[in-house]
A and B are shown apart, each in its own frame.
Chain A
């Protein structure tokens, strides 16, 4: 097999954005990916609005409930509620191929083409210098890559009160239309803006990786309220849109059904050991360089295995997450627009008065398209009464999702353990200190008090447990001492010449802002830097065997 210039592992948000600059530079790039796809539901869903489908489609139960009824959650489904039957392919096969042991941390990984972002909420939240304080890079290092990625994925938003925290974005399209509930909250915010801002609370329309206009052949977003079920007009960003564009390049090759197991550095580059899932054969593939983008946990698993670092603890991070169903009294007796999107309508940043470096990020969603029966399940009343009540209350129902920042401590660790059957397993321990818990409670109280002033009254607070945000990071951090598992400022893996890390594992700490846009920008930075090294010959020239 050919020795290519770069092998990229994974086709998620990190993988495709790391591959792009390498491919654009004319280098020969091969992407290895497990690559599960939805072959079942996509074709069933007509391009119609959610309410129209509900009223007219006799086959709707197939995708709303699932052919195996996988959409009826009898268990304690508190993680990734947006992962509806048409999105469940995202986490398929993970239990079998990516085993994890943990009683303190819930893990959702992906072996899908496009990875977790095939079902993400598309919230785009650039980091500023304070957010990157623990990393050896700053906002300026990322700025051109934020711009490049924003243009590639299509970002919409406005220049409101969040602009100072997110920064400029030259290609930004106008925001998507917010729904009636979002409008009511936003109006109230504008009336009380000065007082709320003085209290450290800043609210704006959510910046989304979604096209409000025609952009790279995608969009405009049709506001069908089907974003948790389908990808109408491809308006919401999924990494597979970039993968499709990459496939049009002759110097790019995509190999799916490949499970990357480990790598070795060899003279002139890297040898990657791969299991071909279609035929069970082991393959060895050669490349001048390797870019790991298998998701923070996935990359860490492969790296620790390759470096023989079984049992060695490394940090693990994930934004602590709480969600709060609320009653939006602004909607009392108000008509509801049917035209809407299902993603976060509004985003708030709420700063701690004593410590401006500490803040939470809260996103307001309206509850509709995930169907009533999931709420009926949570109600203690009879099903028929719950149905009647919730139907009346539905226009008032919202969900506030609150994210907190996360930093490493000795009690948040991940280890690779050798398994009895030859398959190793990740073991994760994640325990927060009392001080962290207390700070979070105080921060949640503050942000909810501000939302109350906007008419959003909490019904109850739900802590879905650690790991629930599905924002994993920190396991092979940038700036780690050489000899430690981690990487340098260019994200080159310590102790290697030509292995690079491009996903969330490189961030030494994470702010409350969702990290995926920054993962993508950093992946673009890693790919750009590697392309330069490969072209300048700093890494030895590729050879054909």
Chain B
């Protein structure tokens, strides 16, 4: 999904940096809970930046972030590959910040709260989730190599 579809606010009104952060918030939120975050959550994400990430991103990190803003569907793959190849990375930290924001919002709590499953259901879900996670790493590594360079 492209950023244009996710953005609700008129872009002209926003300065460039804030607009970039909005796009990030939308991309990460969509990746994590399958729908765009609310305006309040976006604002919390933007407000978190100077506190959590006061330093400028390196050129490589900026390239990855820019790619995620432009191609939100790539977020999970780049994140997965980065998790294996270099977990201490700005992209992953920023997605984690969004995770914390969404986890502590009642609208998204069900994505984080556990549910009771039978043994078989649990096994099936674990199997599928594990398979998807491995697949994302495998597809993400070549993508990361291309985007990161």
Contact = CB atoms under 8 A, between A and B. Distances in A.
Contacts of A392: 114, 117, 122, 125-126, 129
Interface stretch (B15-23, B56-64, B94-102): B94-102
B84 interface: yes
Contact of B52 (A57, A64, A74, A373): A74
Interface string A104-143: 0000000000000000000000000000000000000000
A333 B104 CA distance: 26
Contact of A61 (B101, B122, B137): B101
B96 A381 contact: no
B126 A383 contact: no
Interface in A334-375: 334-336, 368, 371-373
A302 interface: no
Given A376-B99, A392-B122, A60 B93 contact: no
B113 interface: yes
B117 A65 contact: no
Given A56-B106, A60-B104, A336-B114, A385 B99 contact: no
B119 A333 contact: yes
A69 B48 contact: yes
A24 B32 CA distance: 58
Nearest to A68: B51
Contacts of B52: 69, 72, 74
B103 A58 contact: no
A376 B94 CA distance: 13
Given A51-B113, A380-B87, A389 B130 contact: yes
Contacts, number: 127
B122 A332 contact: yes
Interface in A49-71: 51, 54-58, 60-61, 64-65, 68-69, 71
A306 interface: no
Contacts of A467: none
B76 to A, nearest CB: 5
A512 to B, nearest CB: 32
A58 B38 CA distance: 13
A382 interface: yes
A55 B136 contact: no
B106 A383 contact: no
Residue of A51, A373, A394 with highest tally of chain B CB at under 10 A: A373
Interface in B92-149: 92-93, 95-97, 99-101, 103-106, 109-114, 116-122, 125-126, 129-130, 132-133, 136-137, 140
A333 B118 contact: yes
A272 B125 CA distance: 65
B80 to A, nearest CB: 4
A271 B113 CA distance: 57
B24 interface: no
A420 B75 CA distance: 50
Interface residues of B, number: 47
A64 B104 contact: yes
A389 B137 CA distance: 15
Given A333-B119, A384-B31, A372 B106 contact: no
Interface in A374-417: 376-377, 379-389, 391-395
Interface string B67-84: 000000000110110011
A511 B5 CA distance: 62
A69 B125 CA distance: 33
Contacts of A332: 119, 122
Given A372-B103, A384-B79, A74 B93 contact: yes
Nearest to B97: A72
A384 B76 contact: yes
Residue of B52, B109, B136 with highest tally of chain A CB at under 10 A: B109
B122 A377 contact: no
Contacts of B113: 51, 54-55, 391
B83 A380 contact: yes
A89 B120 CA distance: 45
A376 B83 CA distance: 11
Interface in B19-37: 31-32
Contacts of B44: 61
Nearest to B83: A380
A373 B79 contact: no
A381 B103 contact: no
Contacts of A382: 76-77, 79-80, 83, 133, 136-137, 140
Contacts of B99: 372-373, 376, 383, 387
A390 to B, nearest CB: 9
A58 B106 contact: yes
A77 to B, nearest CB: 13
29 contacts: A54-B104, A54-B112, A55-B106, A55-B113, A56-B106, A58-B105, A60-B104, A72-B97, A72-B100, A333-B117, A333-B121, A336-B114, A371-B100, A372-B112, A373-B96, A373-B99, A373-B100, A376-B96, A381-B136, A383-B32, A387-B32, A387-B111, A387-B112, A391-B112, A391-B113, A392-B122, A392-B126, A394-B114, A395-B116
Given A392-B117, A395-B114, 8 more contacts: A58-B106, A65-B104, A69-B48, A69-B100, A373-B103, A377-B96, A381-B133, A391-B112
